[in-house]
Structure 1
Amino acid sequence: MSDAMVYEIDPQVFWRDPYPDLKRMRAMAPVVFVPQLGATLIVRRQDIFEQEKKTEVFSSDQPGGLMTVLMGQNMMRKDGADHLAERKAIFSTVSPKTVQRVWTDQFRAATEQVLAGLKGQGRCDLVRDYALPVSAEALKAMTGLTQMSAVEMDRVSQGMIDGCANYAGDPEVEARCHDCTASIDRHIDEMIPFVDAAPDQSLLSVQRQAGMEDAQVRANIKLAISGGQNEPRDAIAGTVWALLQNPDQLELVRAGRAAWRQAFEEYARWMSPIGMSPRRVAQKYELHGVTLKPEERVFLMFGSGNRDEAVFARPDAFDLTQDITAAISFGAGPHFCAGAWAAKALIGDVALPMLFERFSDLRLDGAAEFGGWAFRGPLQMPVRWD
């Protein structure tokens, strides 16, 4: 067991709102051991920023890790040359140029259809009825699994992220995750003949064009779905909630003194849809007097680093006027989120401005419930408009 200071959590309380515990952890020590998670947590921003780059110590290669066992060894679970080779192979799908030239127009068209479906309703659950299909339609196009329904895309994504965060070993959660990965494999099988006959910029197509092994193609598509659905979904709905809860901040955007992208990026700092990334200790290492031993599990707590009082002026506030250039919402090292440009375009350039333009009097219609710490977002969000 780690010789770091021990910090006990109530897992249910931590899932509902991890930020009070994370604040106490940062005040107590930069590195703490949490028995309920079976992991050593690095909780301060500068440490996360520096240590994530030391892949020779904090390795993403985790043969026994939940993601690898449940989804296959995708590029996120590789380091060095192996990681770079696969990242290079998929770059043409997620590059800023492709996002601008190929995907953004498709994002707008799909979002317009979702908005048209809401016309005349006067109210909805923004998570289920807007953020979910907008995110799913974007991901269907980018992965190449265009025949999958939006609801199924959301189901398989949630099933996989629940599986990857199943540190309690719940057999029902694991079984659902296996069912979800099997569904993705069936959809991949159906689409292979089509993308081979007519190659495009989708993730399925570019990987096959690059000659990647079938197991890697599938593992990387599962990776894209596990993060590419729930995180944009949660960030779309969450940013809308933050703006409606803070009308002075919404007015900054409407008056042109802040950008929609800026609102999304501040939300991603403040509420961190990706709250944590696990690492395996590959060699003995000392950090702040704590000896980390080979094969121990370390969590890089992005959600904690993004609220570090030593870095941000108003860490616990949603505030578009503060400097967030130090935010690590998309990671800080070689595993920086490959889909960052697509997320910024989908959320900041499409989903937010189109929603507020269509429903200028959008307002909350009840309480929004949030959950999660490894992945965090609103579970429901009732809204209404005239």
Structure 2
Amino acid sequence: MSTAPVVSIDLAAFWADPYPVLKRLRAEAPVAFVPELGATLLTRRDDIFVNEKKIEVFSSDQPGGLMTVLMGQNMMRKDGAAHQAERKAIFPTVSPKTVRDTWKAQFQAFTAGILEEIRPQGQADMLRDIAMRISGEALKCITGLTQIPWAEMDRVSQGMMDGIANYAGDPAVEARCNEATAAIDRYIDERMPVLRKAPDASLLSVQRQAGLPDAAIRANVKLAISGGQNEPRDVIAGLAWALLTHPDQLAMVRDGRVSWLQAFEEYGRWIAPVAMSPRRVAQRHVLHGVTLEPGDRVFLMFSSGNRDESVFARPDVFDVTQDSGPAVTFGAGPHFCAGAWASRCLIAEVAMPMIFERLPGLRLAGDVPFGGWAFRGPLRMPVAWDV
């Protein structure tokens, strides 16, 4: 057990808005044990940036962790050579070249179709009816599970995301997660014979071509679905909300003074969709006078690091003109998000400009609540536009 100061929190309030607690921890206890989470939190940006790279201390290999137990041991839960081998195997799917030459055209085609279909309605829920659908269609392409509906992709993704954030141990949440992973296994079984006959650039196909074992292939596909659905979904809707509530900044993006990519990066800094990443302490380590012991669970709080007052000039505000370069939105070490290029392309190059171009007069049509401390995003987003 670490010697970190113990800081208790109200879990419901933390889920609704974690930022006040995180700000207090950065100032008073940057390495703190939170009993309600059963983990020691690292909350300062530089601590996260430096220590995430120390895999000999902060290990991603967590045999008893929720992700490993519920989804299998994917590349995100491996370190060193094992991690690098699987990362190399999936690279042909997520490389900048593949994103540019293969996926971007598909992203553009289905996004145009979705917006063309929904435009006559004049109103929708941006999260459920647009962002969720765009994200699901993109993930179908990238994973190779093209036979399932976009809504099913979102359902199984959410089931896994809820499961791996189920630190309270709710058995109903765990059961839904298990059902979701079983469904994905069935979908993989359906597609594998097709991809053996006609290989492509999808994640399922390139892993098979690389000769990865079946367990690794399945675990990595589940990893891609668990993160690759909710993160783009929440950023598409969240960034649209941020720009609609900051019309001066939307104007700067639309007239070219600021790029869509800058707006995307700033939103990810401000409201990190993946707000934390867990680690297992592998050997004794001292940080800020706190001794961490082997077996301790540590949460790298990306959402907190991205609002560190010592790094960002205006940490608590959405400002597309500020430098978001130091942000740790995609991670900072060897586990830097492999899907970063696909995410930037889908959201900054395709979805956001097309949404604002093809839904003229886009505006909010109701309240937009947010939730989550491990994964954070809007819960609903009613919008309207001119028909």
Report TM bin, short chain.
Answer: over 0.9
Tell me how far 1:7 sits from its aligned partner.
Answer: 1.4
Q: Tell me the equivalent position of 2:368.
A: 368
CA distance in 2 between counterparts of 1:93 and 1:252 reads 33
Tell me how far 1:244 sits from its aligned partner.
Answer: 0.2
CA distance in 1 between counterparts of 2:132 and 2:337 reads 20
CA distance in 1 between counterparts of 2:209 and 2:281 reads 35
Q: Tell me the equivalent position of 1:262.
A: 262
Q: Tell me the equivalent position of 1:280.
A: 280
Map 1:1-386 onto structure 2 (within 5 A). Answer: 1-386=1-386
Amino acid at match of 2:71: M
CA distance in 2 between counterparts of 1:3 and 1:117 reads 57
* Alignment deviations for residues 267-302 of structure 1 (CA, whole Å, 9 cap, x no partner): 000000010000000011111100000001000000
Q: Secondary structure of 1:368's partner?
A: coil
Q: Secondary structure of 2:120's partner?
A: coil
CA distance in 1 between counterparts of 2:100 and 2:189 reads 29
CA distance in 1 between counterparts of 2:279 and 2:220 reads 18
Tell me how far 1:343 sits from its aligned partner.
Answer: 0.1
Amino acid at match of 2:151: V
CA distance in 1 between counterparts of 2:116 and 2:86 reads 38
Tell me how far 1:113 sits from its aligned partner.
Answer: 1.2
Q: Secondary structure of 2:22's partner?
A: helix
* Alignment deviations for residues 149-171 of structure 1 (CA, whole Å, 9 cap, x no partner): 11110011111011000000000
Q: Would the aligned equivalents of 2:145 and 2:187 in 1 still touch at CA under 8 Å?
A: yes
CA distance in 1 between counterparts of 2:209 and 2:48 reads 36
Q: Would the aligned equivalents of 2:126 and 2:383 in 1 still touch at CA under 8 Å?
A: yes
CA distance in 1 between counterparts of 2:226 and 2:147 reads 18
Amino acid at match of 1:165: A
Q: Secondary structure of 1:167's partner?
A: coil
Amino acid at match of 1:358: R
* Alignment deviations for residues 335-380 of structure 1 (CA, whole Å, 9 cap, x no partner): 0000000000000000000000001310000110111111100110
Q: Which runs of 4+ in 1 moved over 4 A?
A: none
Q: Would the aligned equivalents of 2:34 and 2:41 in 1 still touch at CA under 8 Å?
A: yes
Of the structure 1 ranges 109-118 and 230-239, higher mean CA displacement relative to structure 2 is found in 109-118
Amino acid at match of 1:212: L
CA distance in 2 between counterparts of 1:347 and 1:176 reads 29
CA distance in 1 between counterparts of 2:145 and 2:366 reads 35
CA distance in 1 between counterparts of 2:215 and 2:325 reads 37
* Alignment deviations for residues 224-282 of structure 1 (CA, whole Å, 9 cap, x no partner): 00000000000000000000010011011011100111111100000000100000000
TM-score (norm 2): 0.99
Tell me how far 1:327 sits from its aligned partner.
Answer: 0.6
CA distance in 1 between counterparts of 2:81 and 2:185 reads 27
Gaps of 5+ in 2: none
Tell me how far 1:120 sits from its aligned partner.
Answer: 1.0
CA distance in 2 between counterparts of 1:144 and 1:324 reads 33
Amino acid at match of 1:16: A
Tell me how far 1:92 sits from its aligned partner.
Answer: 0.3
Amino acid at match of 1:133: R
Tell me how far 1:128 sits from its aligned partner.
Answer: 0.5
Q: Secondary structure of 1:291's partner?
A: strand
CA distance in 2 between counterparts of 1:38 and 1:300 reads 13
Tell me how far 1:93 sits from its aligned partner.
Answer: 0.1
Amino acid at match of 1:36: E
CA distance in 2 between counterparts of 1:338 and 1:41 reads 24
Amino acid at match of 2:385: W
Quote the RMSD (CA, aligned, Å). Answer: 0.6
Q: Would the aligned equivalents of 2:119 and 2:359 in 1 still touch at CA under 8 Å?
A: no
CA distance in 2 between counterparts of 1:159 and 1:379 reads 16
* Alignment deviations for residues 123-142 of structure 1 (CA, whole Å, 9 cap, x no partner): 10000000001000000000
Tell me how far 1:58 sits from its aligned partner.
Answer: 0.1
Gaps of 5+ in 1: none
TM-score (norm 1): 0.99
Identity of aligned residues (%): 69
Amino acid at match of 2:373: W
Amino acid at match of 2:135: S
CA distance in 1 between counterparts of 2:245 and 2:5 reads 37
Tell me how far 1:2 sits from its aligned partner.
Answer: 2.4
Q: Would the aligned equivalents of 2:161 and 2:226 in 1 still touch at CA under 8 Å?
A: yes
